[in-house]
Amino acid sequence: MTDLILKKRHGQVLSEPEINWIIAGYVAERIPAYQISALMMAIYFQGMDATETNALVRAMIASGDTIDLSGIAGIKVDKHSTGGVGDKTSIVLGPMVAALGIPVGKLSGRGLGHTGGTLDKLESFPGFRIELEMGEFIRQVNEIGIAIAGQTAQLVPADKQLYALRDVTGTVENVSLIASSIMSKKLASGANAIVLDVKTGAGAFMETPEKAGELARAMVAIGQGLGRKTVALVTDMEQPLGNAVGNALEVREAIATLRGEGPEDLRELCLALGAEMLVLGGGAPTAEAARTQLEAVIASGRALEKLRHLVAAQGGDARLVDAVDELPGATHQSVLRAERDGYVTALHAGKVGIASMLLGAGRETKQSTIDLGAGIELRAKSGTPVRAGDPLALLHTNDATRLPEAQSVLRQAFTIGPEAPPLRPLVFERIS
Q: Is position 396 annotated as part of the catalytic site?
A: no
Closest CB to ligand URA among 89 and 181?
181
Q: How far apart, in Å, are the Cα atoms of 11 and each of 221, 244, 276, 386, 392?
A: 21, 46, 37, 54, 51
Query: Which amino acid type is present at position 235?
Result: T
Of 13-21, 176-184, 243-251, 369-377, the segment contacting ligand URA by CB under 6 A is 176-184
Backbone angles phi, psi at 221, to 5 degrees: -60, -40
Q: How far apart are CA 111 and CA 245, in angstroms?
A: 13
Q: How far apart are CA 181 and CA 200, in angstroms?
A: 18
* Residue nearest to ligand URA as judged by C-beta position: 181
Contact 261, 306 (CB under 8 A): no
Q: Is 181 near ligand URA (CB under 6 A)?
A: yes
Closest CB to ligand URA among 83 and 373?
83
> Residue 56 Cβ, how far from ligand URA at the closest point, in Å?
12
> Residue 300 Cβ, how far from ligand URA at the closest point, in Å?
36
Q: How far apart are CA 196 and CA 177, in angstroms?
A: 16
Of the candidates 79, 424, 422, 426, the one whose C-alpha atom is nearest the C-alpha of residue 268 is 426
Q: Is position 80 annotated as part of the catalytic site?
A: yes
80, 308, 309, 402: which one is catalytic?
80
Closest CB to ligand URA among 175 and 380?
175
Closest CB to ligand URA among 115 and 181?
181
List the interface residues with ligand URA, window 412-431 (CB under 6 A). Answer: none
Of 28-36, 99-107, 177-185, 278-286, the segment contacting ligand URA by CB under 6 A is 177-185
> Residue 385 Cβ, how far from ligand URA at the closest point, in Å?
36
Helix (H, G, I), strand (E, B) or coil at 102: coil
Secondary structure element (H or E) that encloses residue 428, with its range: strand 427-431
Contact 13, 52 (CB under 8 A): yes
> Residue 203 Cβ, how far from ligand URA at the closest point, in Å?
14
Contact 61, 181 (CB under 8 A): no
| Binding residues for ligand URA, total number by CB under 6 A | 6
- Give strand ranges (E) for 338-401: 342-347, 375-378, 385-386, 391-397
Closest CB to ligand URA among 60 and 347?
60
Per-residue interface string for the shown chain with ligand URA, residues 222-261, x marking contact by CB under 6 A: ----------------------------------------
Which of 48, 178, 216, 219 contacts ligand URA by CB under 6 A? 178
Q: Is 40 near ligand URA (CB under 6 A)?
A: no
> Residue 49 Cβ, how far from ligand URA at the closest point, in Å?
18
Q: How far apart are CA 306 and CA 222, in angstroms?
A: 32
Query: What's the burial of 331, exposed, middle or buried (CB within 10 Å: 0-12/13-18/19+)?
Result: exposed
Strands 146-150 and 104-108, how do they pair?
A: parallel
Query: What's the burial of 325, exposed, middle or buried (CB within 10 Å: 0-12/13-18/19+)?
Result: exposed
> Residue 281 Cβ, how far from ligand URA at the closest point, in Å?
24
> Residue 167 Cβ, how far from ligand URA at the closest point, in Å?
9
Q: How far apart are CA 386 and CA 205, in angstroms?
A: 30
Kindly tell me the sign of the dihedral angle through the C-alpha atoms of 109, 112, 117, 119: positive
Closest CB to ligand URA among 218 and 327?
218
Q: Is position 159 annotated as part of the catalytic site?
A: yes
Which of 23, 39, 182, 275 contacts ligand URA by CB under 6 A? 182
> Residue 197 Cβ, how far from ligand URA at the closest point, in Å?
13
Q: How far apart are CA 281 and CA 367, in angstroms?
A: 38
Closest CB to ligand URA among 161 and 181?
181
List the interface residues with ligand URA, window 145-174 (CB under 6 A). Answer: 163, 172
81, 124, 180, 181: which one is catalytic?
181
87, 159, 236, 265: which one is catalytic?
159
Closest CB to ligand URA among 203 and 274?
203
| Residues forming the active site | 80, 159, 166, 181, 185
Binding site for ligand URA (CB under 6 A): 163, 172, 177-178, 181-182
